[in-house]
Structure 1
Amino acid sequence: MGWEDELFALFDDLEDQASALYSAERDLEVADRSRAEYQQVTLASRLMASVAQPVTLGVLGVGPVSGTLERVADGWLLLAAGDHDWIVAHGAVTTVAGTSERSVPEVAWSPLTRLGLASALRRIAEAGEPCLLHLRDGGRHDGLLRRVGADFCELATGEDRRTVLVAFSALAAAQSRS
Structure 2
Amino acid sequence: MAWEEDLFAVLDELEQQAEAAFGAERDAELADRSRSVYREVTLASRLMASVGAAVRLEVTGVGPVEGMLERVGEGWCLIGGSGQDWVVSLPAVTAVLGAGPRSVPEVAWSPVARLGLGSALRRIAEAGERCVVHLRDGTSYDVAPRRVGADFVDAVAGEGRPVLLALASVAAVQSR
Q: TM-score range by the shorter chain?
A: over 0.9
Partner of 1:162: 161
In 1, the alpha carbon distance for the partners of 2:123 and 2:36 equals 39
Please name the residue that 1:43 is paired with.
Answer: 43
Give matches, 1:110-149, under 5 Å.
110-149=110-149
Structure 2 distance, partners of 1:99, 1:173, is 19
Q: Which whole-Å CA distance do the structure 1 matches of 2:81 and 2:154 have between them? A: 25
Structure 1 residue 18, shift from structure 2 partner: 0.8
Q: What is the CA–CA distance in structure 2 between the aligned matches of 1:107 and 1:75, rounded to whole Å?
A: 15
SS at match of 1:129: coil
- Counterpart of 1:105 in structure 2 is 105
TM-score (norm 2): 0.96
Question: Helix, strand or coil for the counterpart of 1:104?
Answer: coil
C-alpha deviation, 1:115, in angstroms:
1.2
CA distance in 2, matches of 1:91, 1:2: 72
> Which amino acid letter does the alignment assign opposite residue 116 of structure 2?
G
Given residue 91 of structure 1, which amino acid in structure 2 is its aligned partner? P
Equivalent residue runs for 1:1-178 within 5 Å: 2-158=2-158, 160-177=159-176
Aligned with 2:51: secondary structure?
coil
Aligned-residue offset at 1:143: 2.3
Structure 1: segments with no counterpart, 5+ residues: none
| Aligned-residue offset at 1:19 | 0.8
Once residues 114 and 70 of structure 2 are traced to their aligned partners in structure 1, the CA distance between those partners, rounded to angstroms, is 15
Rounded Cα–Cα distance in structure 2 between residues aligned with 1:33 and 1:117: 33
Aligned residues: 176
**Alignment TM-score, normalising by the size of structure 1:** 0.95
Any idea what the Cα deviations from partners look like across 1:53-106, whole Å, max 9, x if unmatched? 111111110011111111111121111132111001111111111111111111
Amino acid at match of 1:174: V
| Identity between Structure 1 and Structure 2 (%) | 61
CA-based RMSD of the aligned residues comes to: 1.2
